[in-house]
Structure 1
Amino acid sequence: MRLLPPTLSLYLLRHFLLWCVAVAFAVCGIIFAADMIQFLTEDAAGTDVGAFSLMGLALLRLPQTFQQVLPFVILIAGLGTYHQLTRTSELVVARAAGVSVWQFIAPALLAALAIGILRITVLDPIATTMQAKFDDLHDIWFGDGNGNLVASAGSGVWLREQNIDGTAIVHATHVSLANRALGGVILLLFDPDDHFNERVDAKVGKIENGLWQLSGVERVIAGHAVERMDQLTVPTRISYGQILDRFARTNAISFWALPRYISLLESTGFSARPHRLLWNRMLAMPVLYMALLVIAASFALRFHRKGDAALLAGAGAFTGFLLYFLSDLVYALGINSSIPLQLAAWAPAGVTALLGITMLLHFEDG
């Protein structure tokens, strides 16, 4: 296939990127407005949090939400670009000059590929950092019940619980999912002024009925000798389900941190399947973006042949949305181990690409 002249390639690329920017700004405006309405009507009701603080909170959550709808931005931008170029007969003239459909969608395909790569390598780390800040501020200002728990998987499992009695820091070397227990537990207790109170070492720890049930305990209270006991209970507001939920979350882990986080989760006993699936799904995103663009082109390029432009545009948008939501269904099946992990991550992009190529071949070359 011959390459297009640079001038024409840049012209087509500029049209597509301008549509992407316009759609992205519109989508961001809608997301920001929706978040502000939610904060003003639900979260901030009865609090003294100011409007500017709420705006900052909405901006912190914006990148994380935007990257979830970025495939729709690519789809709508593709529909708009090729509909506009077809309506003005520019692509008709290009076809008459011997330019194939594959040649004039190539610049936008390369742009979609680049956007997909930038999304996972640049936007995702920024979004996860801002999402973590959003979670911290939201817990401080509105307190949704889980703000007392901070979990990480550095060297083992680390937890922090803060309440009016002080701060408790918990470390465990591993987790037994079968027994719902933590092994190699170290519990450090501090008073409200962050002065050390006591340290508790236990072989096994379980959380039951709002209490740490510790076995094989060595306890050291500040200024006292070591005390050994078989059992010890310590009050807590953390639940075992909250621990699992925190470590199962994937929106707080960036693309670059996922491989190390997966290794740490598996070494401490947690299941890393959702994170492995997310890693593979991210790798497939550039292919998915290109496939959605081909879907958009296969509909938009027929506007000049069929009079029902709005109908075809709606059909193209509906097809893209349907494929994307079906990919979420496949993703859920992958998390539940109903289908192989790699199949769940790559099948949506592959099926969308095959469908788009088939439609384009049928409409243009068939």
Structure 2
Amino acid sequence: MIEVALRHRFGQGWGAARRAGFALDAAFAVPAAGVTALFGPSGCGKSTILAAVAGLLRPQAGRVAIGGEVLLDTATRAFVPPERRRCGLVFQDARLFPHLSVETNLRYGLRRAPRGAAGPDMAEVVMLLGIGHLLHRRPAGLSGGERQRVALGRALLSRPRLLLMDEPLAALDAARRAEVLPFLARLRDAAGLPILYVTHALDEVDALADQMVLLEEGRVLAAGPVEALTARTDLAPLAGRRDAGVLLPCVVGDAADGLRLLEFAGGALLTTAQPGPPGTRLRVRIRARDVAVATEEPRGLSTRNILPVTIAAIDAAGEAGEVFLRLAAGPTTLLARVTRDSVARLALRPGLPVWALIKAVTFDHRAPPATPWEVPACPG
């Protein structure tokens, strides 16, 4: 487990810290495997938590432990220095040495690896990140996406036991973000390292994260598996978004007429997207605003996805005149955002069997990453 419990208040006044008056009081425990996203708006404390885990910030009170090894415990005055924590850091800006070649930047990371530490070698990292053609170039001659891939490689070659990534894609435009995301997914699957990933971009969470820690104003609102949190309507930072919806694990099946089948526990969806060959595992975001319901089985519609479901609950949506319908498709929960007028007009109530309508063209047509395990075909 990765255990984090921190309390820290930045000073007041003009001469104090840049975030004067901000108070962090956050605690969570997540598995020491896969990717845990620290998610929330700017200024909620995500990067402060990462700094404390790395040892770059010494909080006023708290405890940090990884796999049972205590890195920080203010109660016993335990504090492992940053250089001994074996945390690989990747920031928004790649922070490469500008006067060194890509290869020399990578070898710098390798020189920082503890003697005898297990991990990928230079050739494996270069192949994993697709940077072999860049080895003799300098950072100034790289695109933003290429620089971030090199920074990932340098961090990985230091053979950390935990990778800390502080909004690594925030400084990139949409095209460069789309370039780097597949390599992050590949890194997650191949490296086997636990990763704490700071972001306020929901599509990055959809693409990469196994667990989510949802933060607001320095406090943890919820923590747990990403699929479970996206299905909750009581978490305003998620449910209050116009792209709110569930993250649905699927397996690509066969279909015809230019369509692909996405099979999930409780049903299947047809899509015009091309998420990969049959057998590909992925996750799709089903936005609540894209789901309609009917009290009678529809006929004569262009909509291809008509799923028999049952209304499990009707929850407030945070917007005047709107509600969320929680729909049970077997063991799977879907969300539909509808008007209160529709609820009254159709006499919708918990326990009522209805049909959920989802257009096949709802899903994005972006090609999946090279390693498409749990990567969304339809990011939020």
Point out the structure with the larger helix share: 1
Q: Please tell me the TM-score bracket, short chain as reference.
A: under 0.3
More strand by share: 2
Q: What's the TM-score, normalizing by structure 1?
A: 0.27
- Whose radius of gyration is greater, 1 or 2? 1
With the length of structure 2 as denominator, give the TM-score of the two structures.
0.27
